[in-house]
Amino acid sequence: MTQPTFIQVAVPSPLRQTFDYLAPPGCDVKQIKPGSRVQVPFGNRRMVGVIVGSSGTTDVPKDRIKPADKLLDELPLLDRDLVALYQWSADYYQYPLGQALQTSLPVQIRKGQPAAEHRPRMLRLTTAGKALEPAVLKRAPRQLQVMQLLRDRAPMTTAQLNAAFETPLSGCLKALAEKGFIEEFLADEEVPNVRESLYGEDAPLVLNKEQQFALAAVRKESGGFAAFLLEGITGSGKTEVYLQAIADSLESGKQVLVLVPEISLTPQTVRRFARRFNREIAVFHSALNDGERFNAWLRARNGKADIIIGTRSAIFTPLARPGLIIVDEEHDASYKQQDGFRYSGRDLAIYRARQLDIPVILGTATPSLESLHNALSGRYHYLQLTERAGNASHPDYRMLDLRGETITEGFAESLFSMMTSHLERGNQVLVFLNRRGFAPILLCRSCGWIATCERCDTSYTLHRLPHSLSCHHCESGRPVPAVCPECGGKELAAMGMGTEKTEQTLKDMYPHIPVYRIDRDSTRTRDGLQNVLDKVDSGAPCILVGTQMLSKGHHFPNVTLVAVLDADAGLFSADFRGQEHMGQLLTQVAGRAGRGDTGGEVVIQTYNSTHPTLQSLVNDGYGPFARKLLDERRLGNLPPFTYMAVIRAEASTRQVPELFLRDIRQAAGEPARGLSILGPMPASMEKRGGLFRMLMIVEAAKRSAVQHYLARAITRMENHPQGRKLRWSVDVDPLDFI
Ligand code: ADP
Ligand code: ZN
Ligand code: ZN
């Protein structure tokens, strides 16, 4: 074997390769370990790269090879496993390694700063604050709470304080500082981003039979890699099983990594973990500043944090002594990054658990077909919780056939009477409609003109507050015209329903009952959402109207009726995952009902009550429904029975991306046996944000065939004369063709 002479460095460059350098002056190549950062000359700039290997040979000519400037880490910053995880994912998702590192490492690491924690800024009471009479703040209860916390717990960071509240404190802290009651200072040492001492210890619950069985199965395999699909209906106690499995792992001195969907990473979620364990938790949430994120990363890496909770990118957290990985709501689409480095956090969790030889639990009420397939074929251990934990009972499903019904603004007459009777019994009602805004279409009654977005293939949605037209795909908007721009007609009609209109309808219909709307528009501020949730939690009769935001995380114990206004939208989607997603969404929404002692009712309005898929979902439940979809996927040669990737290209004219992809396809020649290439064809929304979007679908029974084709196509795209003029991307295991 030749002696290593060159180091291989991953540099943030769009090129899919590593770069060879000589060791920095004064360093011996043999002493340099992969995972250390190094500063290198790159073009006419200096860059921070990560050493991923060394070699005795290089393709770089002798007179061109340069020495690296300097080694930034004496000991590797990323351990061998983490380097291997990055390498594998860059390879699998066909993304440049240097950029993959770039997108997920903390800013300070990327900039080459030393891997040492920052002393954070902390808040403490001033002398005036210490002397303060509580009565002074009686009109500002949050400020008072903050003062009390600081008094009880001594100084805290903003992140720690925020972790103790449901909503951000920024305004409140500013007010207290301005009044001179609190002040900032630089801490003497680093601190965790959640202060566990805030919370008392919750005792573990006594598990029911199914939970015991699940926990025992996990325990049995705790010595090495094993993947579990924990399928449990909403409220069946999955989280309790996670918590007890986590306790085992912590007791044996190991760390636990918990991935949650974006929307679930709330203070409530973190608190549930913090209350159970008197251990340090590192949380990766979007409200962290760079310094806090860096500290959390370092505390996971050096083992100070025992539990690490975060969204998909947390899968790349360094772990000192990994013991268990949990992926909650594994079906959630937010686990797949939808641009740039298009990895799946869930799928990488499986890879990482195998690599680290530890168990991984995927939990959900509505498994993705991928995970279900793996469970049914024996690759994953399949654990099921079919009963609601505690006393809660199952909801009853019912289809409401709209044919022949009298319908007012989207509500069947009989739905109104059901709602009335639930409300009269003092209960709450949830109305689900997955379309925000007032109406999806504004139409001229005399000439048929429809207000459409110029930049996208879609109509503008009419919004009432503020009164405007807005495109839900490119966020562009414009004022509502007073008359038709085509014919001058005065009668412009809002067609179809959105949540704003439904809210109005319900307010007119039930003038004495509060109606709360929950969607992206009504909850722009976190306070907005929390205020509504607080009111709903109080338990008084009310109606909730909302989009899929209602299907995630929040539990509404007093909701006894869930009404799905339009189940048909998801039935005829062109996307091969359309029905799967519809089934997950409806089941998750339905799961919000009847959490308390009262069983709930779920009513689904449809014009397609005889549609076999919908029937299967409503009559048999998600499990049998999903198995039926799996059979269809098998017959249709679709994932998870085949492997798929999409090559996308977009530009400001239709021809450019089409010709580009055609060239790429042609240059590849006849596809190998077992490989099928579809396209170039328009994306399901061809024009979006002013760009024309084309795609090519690559599919094969063998993963390696897809990978092989992609690797060659990418080389051609990188070298194509248009390659730098248009935007192209590769999406392995795509979620959709939008
Ligand atoms: P999931 O994660 O499946 O939605 P949770 O773990 O949140 O379910 O449990 C739902 C509710 O049931 C929670 O209030 C939880 O405290 C309670 N619970 C869970 N397991 C048990 C148990 N074994 N005995 C009593 N209550 C339980
Ligand atoms: Zn007109
Ligand atoms: Zn648009």
Ligand 1, atom 5, lies closest to the CA of 237
The half-sphere exposure of 461 on its side-chain side, counting CA atoms within 13 A, is 23
Q: How far is the centre of ligand 1, averaged over its atoms, from the C-alpha of 388 (Å)?
A: 8
Q: How far is the centre of ligand 1, averaged over its atoms, from the C-alpha of 374 (Å)?
A: 26
pLDDT of residue 552: 72
pLDDT of residue 196: 47
Other CB atoms within 10 Å distance of the CB of residue 382 = 18
What is the C-alpha separation between 265 and 273, in angstroms, rounded? Answer: 12
Q: How far is residue 395 from each of residues 154, 234, 387, 496, measured CA to CA in Å?
A: 47, 11, 12, 29
pLDDT of residue 567: 85
- The whole-number mean pLDDT for each consecutive block of 10 residues of the chain, a chain of 738 residues, reads 81 90 87 91 93 87 87 90 96 95 90 76 81 81 84 76 74 85 73 55 87 96 95 90 96 96 78 86 82 88 93 95 97 94 97 97 96 97 85 74 90 94 94 93 95 92 91 92 94 93 95 92 71 85 90 81 87 83 90 68 91 88 93 94 96 93 89 88 91 95 93 91 87 90
Ligand 1, atom 20, lies closest to the CA of 237
Q: How far is the centre of ligand 1, averaged over its atoms, from the C-alpha of 269 (Å)?
A: 13
Residue among 329, 302, 296, 332 nearest 314 (CA): 296
What is the C-alpha separation between 584 and 367, in angstroms, rounded? Answer: 8
pLDDT of residue 190: 60
Query: Which residues, other chains included, contact 82 with Cβ-Cβ below 8 Å and sequence gap of 6+?
Result: 35, 316, 318
Q: How far is residue 259 from each of residues 285, 293, 325, measured CA to CA in Å?
A: 11, 16, 8
Ligand 1, atom 26, lies closest to the CA of 390
What is the C-alpha separation between 70 and 704, in angstroms, rounded? Answer: 38
Binding-site residues, ligand 1, Cβ < 6 A:
205-208, 211, 232, 234-240, 389-390
What is the C-alpha separation between 652 and 30, in angstroms, rounded? Answer: 51
Output the six-digit token pair for 729: 């991307």
Q: How far is the centre of ligand 3, averaged over its atoms, from the C-alpha of 454 (Å)?
A: 7
Q: From 233, 239, 330, 387, give the residue whose CB has the most ligand 1 atoms within 8 Å, as the site to mutate.
A: 239
Q: How far is the centre of ligand 3, averaged over its atoms, from the C-alpha of 548 (Å)?
A: 21
Q: How far is the centre of ligand 3, averaged over its atoms, from the C-alpha of 596 (Å)?
A: 43
Ligand 1, atom 9, lies closest to the CA of 237
Measured from the Cα of 242, ligand 1's closest atom is 6
**Angle value at C-alpha 288, between 283 and 291, nearest 5 degrees:** 105
Domains with residue ranges and CATH for the chain = 6-110 (3.40.1440.60), 121-189 (no CATH), 209-385 (3.40.50.300), 396-439+496-632 (3.40.50.300), 643-732 (3.30.70.600)
- DSSP codes, 96-162: -HHHHHHHHS-HHHHTT--S-PPPPEEEEE-HHHHT--GGGGTT-HHHHHHHHHHHHH--B-HHHHH
